Structure 1
Amino acid sequence: MSDAPLRVAVLGTTSSGKSTLAAALAEHYQTLWVPEYLREFVDTEERVPVAEDQFHIAATQRDREDAAAPRAHKYLFCDTAPLMTLVYGRHYFGGFDRQLAALAATHQQDYAITLVTAPDIPWVEEGLHRESEEVSVIIDRMLLDELAARGIPYLLVSGDPAERLSQVERHLR
């Protein structure tokens, strides 16, 4: 039997509570979570990403998951996954990045559980991020369509932070 933690992908649009949920789950289960690298990228580079940045962002996210996994206990909560970067890339850049698509396809099976945060909490502007509340609705639909097309089961979590934590706890039992 492997000691590797179950990776839990926490997906959703900007300002849908992914980071809040991932941090709360890690605290509840006394394990680790991997913050979304995109936030650090935007803060460090002081700009929004361009098409050429997408693979780097997704690959760095995965590298950080791989680095955290040996130190995680039972679960590793991942605030986003390459699939989410792929969805955003398709929306913003209209193209198909083969390298990013391959990364998303190769690593999606590494996630034992996929959670999707519903965009049902108050919208909060996130600095240099270009997304708006209107775009969030589009991205949410694109994500759900992509999960369905790939046959990836997921738990849609909604409500306030306590309700979301409770929904995931029931699911993980």
Structure 2
Amino acid sequence: MLKKIVIIGPESTGKSTLSAQLATYYGTSWCPEFAREYLLKNGPQYTYEDLLPIAKGQLALEDQFAQTQLNSAKPNGPLFIDTDMYVMKVWGEFVFDRCHKFILDQIAARHYDGYLLCDIDLPWEPDQLREHPDLASRQRLFNIYKDLLVNQSTPWEEIGGNYEDRLAAAIRATDHFLAG
């Protein structure tokens, strides 16, 4: 059975970098964040209605990567997922004060083997899609993610420090998730 590890946290916390590093370390693959490609293609201005096709695109991409992993030479390696429906929930509620029922239903339906929550202790790096450079917003978002993880049953680990420390902590946590 394919093990899935999700990397979540506020923007500019090294999620994509960590996903790629973990996939390289374990000789497996990682599913990127669909929203980034969607917004680069359609423009950085988005509405509440855009969140539903983004969520569906993320799930389709995750399913595609999962199937590819299962058909690969190393089908038992973990799949690392940069973003899941918790991120969509937080995004919808933080920006629009609401969340699509579809996203909530998918949170309940999907199973993951572990979460890695990236801390905000890396310097914020601007890019055309990032919206919250201020420390107060980043801390608030981090606390929302942490509260979500504390109140669900999937194991999780907080990942902080420099890139080297993060990778080491993420490997330890992933090994624990895979053994469980």
Fold-level match, TM-score > 0.5?
Answer: yes
In structure 1, the residue matched to 2:146 is: 144
Taking the aligned partners of 2:93 and 2:105, their CA distance within structure 1 comes to: 14
CA-to-aligned-CA distance 1:27-65 (integer Å, 9 cap, x gap): 111111111111111110112331111121122111111
1:167 aligns with 2:164: no
In structure 2, the residue matched to 1:111 is: 112
In structure 1, the residue matched to 2:126 is: 125
In structure 1, the residue matched to 2:32 is: 35
Tell me the CA shift for residue 126 of structure 1.
2.2
Taking the aligned partners of 2:106 and 2:45, their CA distance within structure 1 comes to: 21
Structure 1 segments unaligned to the other structure (5+ residues): none
Helix, strand or coil: the match of 1:90? helix
Aligned-residue Cα RMSD (Å) equals 1.5
Tell me the CA shift for residue 123 of structure 1.
0.7
In structure 2, the residue matched to 1:70 is: 67
What is the aligned-residue identity percentage?
A: 27
In structure 1, the residue matched to 2:178 is: none
Taking the aligned partners of 1:139 and 1:69, their CA distance within structure 2 comes to: 28
Runs of 4+ in 1 over 4 A off after TM superposition: none
The aligned amino acid for 1:141 is N
Taking the aligned partners of 2:130 and 2:38, their CA distance within structure 1 comes to: 11
Tell me the CA shift for residue 172 of structure 1.
2.7
Taking the aligned partners of 1:46 and 1:138, their CA distance within structure 2 comes to: 26
Structure 2 segments unaligned to the other structure (5+ residues): 176-180
The aligned amino acid for 2:130 is H
Number of aligned pairs? 168
Match of 2:18 among 17, 21, 40: 21
Tell me the CA shift for residue 92 of structure 1.
0.5
Tell me the CA shift for residue 171 of structure 1.
2.1
CA contact (8 A) 1:15 1:126 kept: no
Taking the aligned partners of 2:18 and 2:131, their CA distance within structure 1 comes to: 22
Tell me the CA shift for residue 152 of structure 1.
3.8
Tell me the CA shift for residue 149 of structure 1.
2.6
Helix, strand or coil: the match of 2:30? strand
TM-score when normalising by structure 2: 0.87
Helix, strand or coil: the match of 1:15? coil
CA contact (8 A) 1:48 1:130 kept: no
CA contact (8 A) 2:31 2:79 kept: yes
Tell me the CA shift for residue 83 of structure 1.
0.9
Taking the aligned partners of 1:145 and 1:172, their CA distance within structure 2 comes to: 21
